[in-house]
């Protein structure tokens, strides 16, 4: 464990605490908002709630592990001997990353055959991406880190290319507001996911020591907060926009009759 200044330790400590609380708050919001959308869009909000509840639990455990891993001595935070268990992140990603993909497919309300085929490939790719990334995360040699990073980037790029190409016709066919929000959800997911491979490479690119550890934890945490709670809010907006559109169309049909 690297020796940290009070500022470095406190930045990670406070950000982990904030993220744990934000995840739980977002989960309560998504759960409570499900009655505001049509029944066919509620699974998307339930998955959103599940994602952030799972993430909130894991962030609480990461927070506890970070707190236990360091002890203040002579104005610096030094290794307490307890160790920092960053594997909680990978346990969280193994559950939540496939669910993030389920969120997007669920809110699109595709046919069963379309959604089943797309999800099967995306979920398999996401599990491979995380499974291949973990050995590089814990590796100490630069060559091994590059090797596993490259391997995990193959399914990562497949997921991004699928998210870029497959929803395109759906976006084009949707009404303006709905199409814009689906495009936003896709952009948020793709952009925030780019934080992960970049943060992963900090130690390899020479950003090591206390600064590297701090940047790694901050990068992962901000990416998780945006990709889960922030992304969930966009999914909620899509469901609400689709619900309003359906209600307006229904009202117009009744008036015409």
Q: What is the pTM of this model?
A: 0.84
d(Cα 102, Cα 80) in Å, to the nearest integer?
A: 40
Mean pLDDT of each 10-residue bin along the chain, 257 residues long: 90 96 95 89 90 96 95 93 88 89 73 73 88 85 88 89 71 67 78 80 75 86 91 88 80 45
To the nearest 10 degrees (0 to 180), the angle between helices 87-108 and 176-193 is 160
145 and 216 Cβ atoms separated by less than 8 Å: no
- Alpha-carbon distance of 216 to 200, in angstroms, equals 7
Residue 198 vs residues 133, 153, 193: alpha-carbon distances, Å: 12, 11, 9
The pLDDT of residue 168 is 62
Paired tokens of 182: 């689906």
Contacts 24+ apart (CB under 8 A), 34-43: 36/240, 36/243, 37/236, 37/239, 37/240, 37/242, 37/243, 38/239, 38/242, 38/243, 38/246, 40/109, 41/106, 41/107, 41/109, 41/238, 41/239, 41/242, 41/243, 42/239, 43/106
* Fold topology of 4-256: Rhopdopsin 7-helix transmembrane proteins (1.20.1070)
């Amino acid at each position: 464990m690297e020796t940290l200044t009070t500022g470095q330790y406190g930045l990670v400590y406070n950000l982990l605490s904030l993220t744990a609380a934000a995840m739980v708050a977002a989960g309560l919001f998504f759960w409570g908002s499900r009655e505001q959308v049509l029944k066919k869009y509620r699974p998307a909000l339930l998955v959103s709630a599940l994602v952030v509840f799972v993430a909130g639990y894991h962030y609480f455990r990461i927070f506890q592990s970070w707190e236990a891993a360091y002890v203040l001595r002579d104005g610096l935070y030094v290794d307490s001997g307890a160790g920092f268990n960053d594997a909680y992140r990978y346990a969280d990603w193994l559950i939540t990353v496939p669910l993030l993909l389920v969120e997007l497919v669920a809110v699109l309300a595709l046919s069963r055959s379309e959604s089943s085929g797309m999800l099967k490939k995306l979920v398999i790719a996401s599990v491979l991406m995380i499974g291949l990334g973990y050995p590089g995360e814990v590796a100490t040699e630069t060559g091994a880190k590059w090797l596993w990073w490259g391997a995990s980037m193959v399914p990562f790029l497949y997921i991004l290319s699928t998210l870029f190409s497959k929803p395109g016709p759906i976006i084009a066919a949707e009404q303006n507001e709905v199409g814009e929000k689906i495009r936003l959800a896709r952009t948020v997911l793709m952009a925030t996911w780019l934080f992960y491979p970049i943060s992963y490479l900090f130690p390899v690119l020479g950003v090591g020591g206390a600064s590297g550890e701090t940047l790694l934890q901050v990068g992962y945490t901000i990416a998780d907060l945006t990709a889960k709670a922030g992304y969930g809010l966009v999914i909620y907006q899509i469901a609400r926009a689709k619900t309003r559109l359906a209600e307006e169309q229904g009202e117009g049909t009744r008036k015409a009759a």
